[in-house]
Amino acid sequence: MALSQPSARGRLLLWPRLLLLGDSLTEHSFEEGGWGAHLADRLVRKCDVVNRGISGYNTRWAKLILPRLITESTSAENIVAITIFFGANDSALKDLNPKQHVPLEEYAANLKSMIQYLKSVNITEDRIILITPPPLQESAWEKACLAKGDKLNRCNATTGEYAQVCVQVARDCGTDVLDLWTLMQKNQDFSSYLSDGLHLSAKGNSFLAAQLWSRLENKLSALPSLLPYWRDVDHTNPEASLL
């Protein structure tokens, strides 16, 4: 039997969306134990968690594709929060990784540009969370680079400069920010948060998920569960419960 088209009574259900925008640290977040998967599990039946992490990208490229990912007419309306998580590639050393490197001043300008674009499609500052790059464990990342025939192409002090700029952009633009670079280094040995010196380990994913949830909970706590609990459905007249 064919399903009937949605009526005014049984209108299309649109799930609110939490959009994750970033580089490989976001792209990998839906892997087993990933921070995006943690959030999706917490928000099931309340909100779709949409992964728009693009491995290897920097803010220069992200700024260009953002209008292709979110438009006012088709996708911005039901976005309840968005994370912007860039800097790990922008902060690559220019001489050793010129393709991904973005100068510090341009990095700041690109983040501001993305925030301004989101505001232009009616995603307000209170729904935007910037995330700084995590700290870099140089000896581990150097091993990863050498295995590919490359030299160490990042350093933690430089990454920290980008993290500080990210925090300042959030202050200037009125958005929330998660300073992962600083928070992870409150634990003197932060290497356990990283799998290869750059990307997050299982512990790092859990840490980020917990820190981010503490910021998202207030924004998303009022979201209702979509569709009634199965015990609350009137089995003699399901239409009354479900349409």
What is the number of H-type helices and E-type strands within the chain? 9, 5
pLDDT digits (tens, 9 = 90+) for 153-187: 999 999 999 999 999 999 999 999 999 999 999 97
What is the C-alpha separation between 87 and 157, in angstroms, rounded? Answer: 13
Mean pLDDT estimate for the chain:
91
The yes-or-no verdict on residue 192 having pLDDT over 50 is yes
Q: What is the DSSP letter of 200?
A: B
Compute CA 243 distance to the chain's CA centroid, rounded to the nearest angstrom. 34
| Overall pTM surpassing 0.85 (yes/no) | yes
Quick one: 107 exposed, middle or buried, by C-beta within 10 A (0-12, 13-18, 19+)? Answer: buried
| Share above pLDDT 70 across residues of the chain, in percent, rounded to a whole number | 95
The answer to whether 27 touches 54, Cβ cutoff 8 Å, is yes
Reading the block at residue 191, the tokens are 């290497």
For residue 77, the SS3 value is coil
Label residues 154-180 b or e (16+ Cβ within 10 Å = b).
bbbebbbebbebbbebbeebebbbbbb
- For range 1-7, the mean pLDDT: 49
State the Cα–Cα distance between residues 243 and 104, nearest whole angstrom: 53
pLDDT at 199 over 50: yes
- pLDDT exceeds cutoff 90 at 189: no
CB 151 within 8 A of CB 91: no
Give dist(CA 235, CA 230) in Å, integer. 9
pLDDT band at 197 (very low <50, low <70, confident <90, very high): very high
Tokens of 73: 């007419």
Question: Could you tell me if residue 117 is left (phi over 0), alpha (psi between -120 and 50 degrees) or otherwise beta?
Answer: alpha
What length does the chain have? 243
**Active-site residue identified among 24, 75, 192, 201:** 24
- 196, 201, 206, 241: the active-site residue: 196
pLDDT for position 212: 96
Residue 213 CB: number of other CB atoms within 10 A?
Answer: 15
pLDDT of residue 1: 43
Under the phi-then-psi rule, with left for phi > 0, alpha for psi from -120 to 50, and beta for the rest, what region is 227?
A: left
pLDDT per position as a tens digit, 201-243: 999 999 999 999 999 998 887 888 888 888 988 888 898 888 8
Residues 95 and 78: their CA atoms lie apart, in Å, by 42
CA distance 152 to 216: 35
Report d(CA 212, CA 206) in Å as an integer.
10
Q: Is 199 a catalytic residue?
A: yes
Domains of the chain, start order: 17-223 (3.40.50.1110)
Half-sphere CA count of 8, side-chain side, radius 13 A: 0
pLDDT at 10: 56
